[in-house]
Structure 1
Amino acid sequence: MRSLRPVILAAAGTAALLFAAGPAAGEDRPPVTVVDSLGRTVTVPGRVARILSLEPEVTRIVVALGAGDRLVGIDHFLRFNDHLFPLVFPAGASLPLVSNPAQDLSVEEALRLRPDVVFASPSESRLTGSVERKLRVPVVALASMGRFSGLLEEIRTLGRILDREARAGELIARFEETLRGLPGPAPEAEGPGRPTVYLAFWNSLVRTPVAYDPVDAAGGRNVAAGTAADYAGSPGVTVSLEKLLLWDPEVILVQGNYPPSDRRVTVEAVLRDPRLASLRAVRTGRVHYTFGYWYWWDPALALVETVYLARLFRPGTDPGFDLAAFGDGVFKDFYGVEGAFSALCRRLDCHAWTRE
């Protein structure tokens, strides 16, 4: 692996400048028209001062763009279930809560907050139209759905909406530069050297994403790629054990983005499961944790996970590489905070498996 340390140092020198910039006060700006992830054409005001995001991935990107001070509310997931967001945006703890555990929006609270724009998930297409009618403000549905192209376009779109295009360009350049430094075959290559990979996500052995670009970019091949999702707007599919046995992956990745006490699927359980004993991944001990996502990414963590997987698929590559230091550098570049990745690993107890 080409060393990633210079990337950390070069980007860190610009972090303070990137976070200091913001929209110039008093400037008029024409409305911005975008096409969202549902294919809808949406026009938003040229000046967006009050943001209500119901989509955690969007909320994180808003913060990474340096516009976290424009957030006027927070959803239930980020307030109570996310282990990372409090580390990168402590101010979120004081934002009004706008949804319940089922992620249902409190329309009364949303009206009180007077947002200029609302961001929603494309997986809740009916909610998008309902919120737009009730609040009478533009609603933009955005999500990457496990695709880097979608994630980078999402960053670009939010940069346009929030008048933070320069910062969006910096984040995209950081992302692409790191991907170019990864070892192994190009994502579109076939044949030897690209291990077949099955992902057990969302605390289920039989739920798996139909697209997960960190695997492809790291030199693997997702066995579920091309499979139809369970429903429109879903990133995943439920498969049978027979299908998993037929795929016979060389590597199994278990989502580890939970504290150990909350994990219903574990590496140890997969290795001990007699139903899976014939799988190549089980027979060779190539069952590992990875970070994964809950239908939405943290953009910095997606980048760190890709570098982790590239090393996992090719043991011994760049043996002096320090993933914790690299991850802390990425999170500083994205969020301007120190030690966030190391702190996340302590919360998830993942230092052991990220050092494999």
Structure 2
Amino acid sequence: MNRTILLAAVVAIIVVIGVVAVLVYRNETVVQKSTGSTYYPVTVRDASGRNVTLYTSPSRIVSLAPSDTQVLVSLGLGKELVGVDYYSYLLLKYLNATSDLPQNVTVFSPSISPNISGIVALRPSVVVDELGLIGDYSTQLSEAGLTTFYTNADYAGNYTAIEKSITTLGKLFDRNTQAVELVNWMNTRIHSYESQGDTGVAYLLWVNPDHTFYTAGSNTFINTILNLSGGVNVFSNTTGYPVLSPESLIVGNPQIIIAQELTNLSYTLYMINTMPGIANVSAYTNHRVYVMSQNLPTFLLDEPGPLSVYAIQMINLAIKGDAPSYISSAWVESELNVTLPVF
């Protein structure tokens, strides 16, 4: 009798434990569903026209272009970047902002082709890169089993294209609110820095040994910066990045020349001073030639990302005559207080 009662009691206890376990399991499941991320999976179309799906929140990101890295850091994803290209790291170093990245972040050496084996070794959730820069290597990245997402900010012709890239990355990484904040931050500074004017500006990207030079045409981002800064691109009758002759500079007769530093400052000035017919150019005779150092100033103007808003202010100061003839990183940092926001 006692054994029967004892057995019944044991069975009852087991049943109770089982019921409690089921209830606890069900409760935990509900909690997980209610507190866990419901954002993923998400599918976003990238610049190549592909629909890219991320099934979980990406915790290991590789970025291979400074314009993209700027955006990702600003969206609060810096600590998720396990690998970046050399120029992205260099830009953050100029800004004293490498602390936004993990201490053990992998920095890939400058190369025309991506270090695919090195990227694979990092086991990234997704690789972000510029469509115009990756070229034929996109197939190799896919064949290596990597999830890739391509933007096209490096070939943006205006700020609208940059904003589109920001909002697209915001959608991919569940940073929609931060993307809106970043776009608003940019627009506030654009409106603050922009200026109306008609000062003729010639921008020299590079001067070749024969004194032909690369410049920026009307459909480029640099042209947009010049216009917002109160200048008029004297080579706006061209498109892309054409190579022009010294005679073109004489015909354009700019009031201001802004040149990127070549090997060093002295060599840059030598190439400009010895350009055939330069004495007939207004900017030269009036001592309105400005050389931008190879580092931070050039990054601000050449990389179509959030930091490019400071290029508007930088060029505007040159147009107004308030910038030194050699626009160095030190001057830019002290005068413009360049900072990359993180939202």
So what's the TM-score if we normalise by structure 1? 0.69
Cα distance in 2 for residues equivalent to 1:223 and 1:133: 46
Unaligned residue ranges in structure 1 (runs of 5+):
1-23, 186-192, 230-235, 337-356
2:159 is the counterpart of 1:148:
yes
Q: Structure 2 CA distance, aligned partners of 1:108 and 1:25?
A: 37
Q: Is the 8 A contact 1:107 1:135 kept in 2?
A: no
Measured after TM superposition, the shift of residue 58 of structure 1 is 0.6
In the alignment, is residue 106 of structure 1 matched against residue 111 of structure 2? Answer: no
Q: Which residue of 1 aligns with 2:245?
A: 240
SS at match of 1:303: helix
Distance in 1, matches of 2:237 and 2:137, equals 27
In 2, Cα distance between equivalents of 1:100 and 1:135: 22
In the aligned structure 2, how far is the partner of 1:223 from the partner of 1:87? 36
- Match for residue 342 of structure 1? none
Aligned to 2:70: 60
> What amino acid is the match of 1:225?
S
Cα RMSD of the aligned pairs, angstroms, is: 3.3
SS of equivalent to 1:285: coil
Q: Residue in 1 aligned with 2:257? A: 252
Task: Name which one, 1 or 2, has greater alpha-carbon Rg.
Answer: 2
- Tell me which of 184, 195, 199 is aligned to 1:195: 199
SS of 1:277 mapped into structure 2? helix
Q: Counterpart in 2 of 1:266?
A: 268
Q: Deviations over 1:87-116 (max 9, x none)?
A: 21244663123x443242222222221212
Distance 1:262 1:285, change over 3 A: closer
Is 1:48 aligned to 2:55, yes or no?
Answer: no
Which amino acid is the alignment partner of residue 60 of structure 2? R
Q: Which residue of 1 aligns with 2:184?
A: 173
In 1: Cα distance, 2:49 partner to 2:335 partner? 36
Aligned partner of 2:311 among 289, 305, 312? 305
Q: Tell whether 2:226 aligns with 1:215.
A: yes
CA deviation profile, 1:60-106 (whole Å, cap 9, x unmatched): 22112111111111223345x54745621244663123x44324222
CA distance in structure 2 between the aligned counterparts of 1:137 and 1:208, rounded to whole angstroms: 36
Q: State the alpha-carbon separation in 2 of the partners of residues 226 and 44 from structure 1.
A: 43
Distance 1:208 1:240 in 2: 11
Give the structure 1 partner of residue 81 of structure 2: 71
What is the rounded CA distance, in whole Å, between the counterparts of 1:277 and 1:303 in structure 2?
A: 33
SS in 1 for 2:136: helix
Q: Which has the higher helix share?
A: 2
Query: Which residue of the partner structure matches residue 314 of structure 1?
Result: 320
**CA distance in 2 between partners of 1:111 and 1:248 (Å):** 51
TM-score by length of 2: 0.71
- Percent identity between the aligned chains? 22
Distance change >3 Å, CA 180–CA 273, structure 1 → 2:
same
SS at match of 1:181: helix
Identify the match of residue 213 of structure 2 among 179, 182, 206: 206
Residue aligned with 1:228, SS: coil
Q: Distance in 2 between matches of 1:126 and 1:29?
A: 32
Deviation string, structure 1 residues 13-40 (Cα, Å, up to 9, x no partner): xxxxxxxxxxx98413233333434444
Q: Deviations over 1:117-145 (max 9, x none)?
A: 11122223212232123234133233243
The size of the alignment, in residue pairs, is 288
CA deviations over 1:182-213 (Å, ceiling 9, x no partner): 4533xxxxxxx411211112576712233212
Q: In the alignment, is residue 127 of structure 1 matched against residue 147 of structure 2? A: no
Structure-to-structure mapping, 1:320-339, within 5 angstroms: 327-328=336-337, 330-331=338-339, 334-335=341-342
Q: Return the letter of the residue paired with 2:53.
A: T
The code of the aligned residue for 1:313 comes to: I
Structure whose residues are more often strand by fraction: 2
Q: 1:289 aligns to what SS in structure 2?
A: strand
Task: Report the Cα distance in structure 2 between the residues aligned to 1:43 and 1:112, rounded to whole angstroms.
Answer: 21
In structure 1, C-alpha distance between the alignment counterparts of 2:61 and 2:321, rounded to whole Å: 44
Displacement of 1:308 in angstroms is: 2.2
Q: Is the 8 A contact 1:43 1:138 kept in 2?
A: no
Equivalent pair of 2:246/2:275 in contact (CA under 8 Å): no
